[in-house]
Every structure is written in C-alpha cells, then in structure tokens.
Amino acid sequence: MMKKRFTLVLLMFVLMLSATNGVFAAEDTSSKKDIVETAVEAGDFTILAAALEKAGLVDTLKGAGPFTVFAPTDEAFKKLLKKLDITSDELLKRDDLKEILLYHVLSGKVLSTDLKDGMTPETLAKKTVKISLDPVKANDANVVKADIEASNGVIHVIDEVLLP
C-alpha cells in the first residue's frame, strides 16, 4: 500500500513538472532590451546611436521588428570619417544619412547560422548587401561579433560602415 501511494505521489509530481515545463522553459523576451537599448548599453556605438537619433530611426528600431542590424562600432565610424575627411557633425548633417543607416538593417531576424556564402539580402535601403563566409563579412566589413540578441531582432557588430 505504501509503495502504491509513493508511486502515485511521484507520478503526480512528474505530471505537475511536465505541465509547468512550458512556463519555465519559455524564453522571457520581456526582460530583453530592444536593438537600440542593447546597442547603447554595449557602449561602443555612441556615434551610431547619435546617427540613428539624427536620422529619426530610433523609433523604427525600437519597433516590433524583427530586424537584423549590422552595427558599425565607433572605431568603424572614425575610420569612415578619416577616409571621407569629415567630422562626425558633418556626417550627421549628410542628406543621405538615413539611407546609409538603413543600408545596415535587414527585415527579419537573421542569425549567423542563417547566413550563406554569396547571399545578397535586401536592406531597408532597398539595396542588397553581399554576405561572405570564412571570415564572415557584409560587403567588406568583418563581422567581429555575431548574434547579439535583442527583444526585436539581432545585432551583428561590424568593423566598417557600409556605404550603399
């Protein structure tokens, strides 16, 4: 009798655990920050954040998405400024700033495992970017850190600013 009771209690315990498994195992996206907050918190995207603000794209990238962002670091922007021989203020005043930034964004969540050598996904600037593997690149920019997940997409950190 004691053995049957123990088996019944054990069975009920297992059933309770399996019934709550979905609750405990579900991904908690409410605690994840959106793409903009994630980039700002990382601390190496201050120029990108300022550019997104200036171009009026912050609300877009805080939206539901999902988005994939190839995010140039501050160092990447500094290389571009030197190459173009302009200041960051001059960059933020460019007429094509919004298009440049949208060229870094894909619709949908594309993880590094989804990338294929030679693929050319269309960006939100309505132009394609060429993906290469080994090493992973977007056009000529190296992906230096991939798959930084946010509540509304994913960020891949790149070492150059992409120009359409």
Mind listing the pLDDT tens digit for each residue in 99-127?
A: 999 999 999 999 999 999 999 999 999 99
Residue 27 maps to a domain: no
Per-residue confidence at 42, pLDDT binned at 50, 70, 90?
confident
Residue 120 maps to a domain: yes
In terms of C-beta density within 10 A (0-12 exposed, 13-18 middle, 19 or more buried), how is residue 71 classed?
Answer: buried
What is the CA angle 130-148-97, rounded to 5?
55
Q: What does DSSP assign to residue 134?
A: T
**DSSP line for 53-116:** HHTT-HHHHHSS--EEEEEE-HHHHHHHHHHHT--HHHHHT-TTHHHHHHTTEEES---GGG--
CATH code: domain of residue 70: 2.30.180.10
**Nearest CA-CA partner of 112 in 50, 73, 70:** 70
Strand (E) or helix (H) holding 49: helix 46-54
Task: Kindly tell me if the per-residue pLDDT of 27 is higher than 50.
Answer: no
Residue 55 maps to a domain: yes
Residue 15 maps to a domain: no
Mean pLDDT taken over the chain: 85
Residue 20 maps to a domain: no
What's the total number of domains in the chain? 1
Residue 1 maps to a domain: no
Residue 75 maps to a domain: yes
Task: Kindly tell me if the per-residue pLDDT of 156 is higher than 80.
Answer: yes
Q: How far is CA 78 from CA 38, 114, 139, 147, 158, in A?
A: 21, 30, 18, 24, 13
The parent domain of residue 117 ranges over 32-158
